[in-house]
Structure 1
């Protein structure tokens, strides 16, 4: 059994690119669980990852491809949350969508993707976009 932690933001196009990269991996979909995971920045008790278009679009495409899909969420520090969830579910792969930024942009705004890649001992599948 393979477990993939697919960390989803709110952008549907990025979620679709992540799904595309997962569905092209040499995996048996019937033996793979994909955990769609969104980290909310605030602590809004009403927030539900299932209500995000990016999550519902990714879930639909993955289920159509034969994957078992679980939706989960948390709030707070994205890097810490992603790494903790990966550990909790013993993820074989962490899927992230990054944005191409200049070194200055990374220094000023930080990069969740960069921090997860550097701090994780798990395989990280990275899709990068211009936006």
Structure 2
């Protein structure tokens, strides 16, 4: 194969972002905004909008959640390839497993306002994922 042919056949490198969406429309909108303002080539990025149901997910459909539907709409409008995935169970474990399963290059998480005592007593999914993940985490905190 001629050298020029190698240069013209570029490998399309895809970046996969796991956007961990809860049911709060505003928090998820902040996550979407944080992604759409990064210097990313939408043609080379796949965003997996991922929701974890805490209870048995039988019959549940993440795509029907307002937060997820709006995220998909905004990300597709920005030119990103988008998929919706879901699971049920312990949110921290499920998110970490999904990051591995989808070979995510970046995790997008949103935080909630909690006092330090509240975090100590009740924990924080975003905090635990960011501490346990071996992947980069983009953390969107509430205004």
CA RMSD of aligned residues (A): 0.8
CA distance in 2, matches of 1:15, 1:24: 14
CA distance in 2, matches of 1:23, 1:101: 26
Question: Unaligned 5+ residue runs, structure 2?
Answer: 1-13
Quick check: 1:45 aligned with 2:62?
Answer: no
CA distance in 1, matches of 2:93, 2:124: 13
Q: 1:20 aligns with which of 22, 28, 33?
A: 33
Which residue of structure 2 aligns with residue 67 of structure 1? 80
Between structure 1 and structure 2, the one with the greater Rg is 2
4+ residue segments displaced more than 3 Å: none
Question: Unaligned 5+ residue runs, structure 1?
Answer: none
Q: Is the 8 A contact 2:32 2:75 kept in 1?
A: yes
Give the number of the structure whose residues are more often strand, by fraction: 1
Q: Is the 8 A contact 2:57 2:87 kept in 1?
A: no
Number of aligned residue pairs: 130
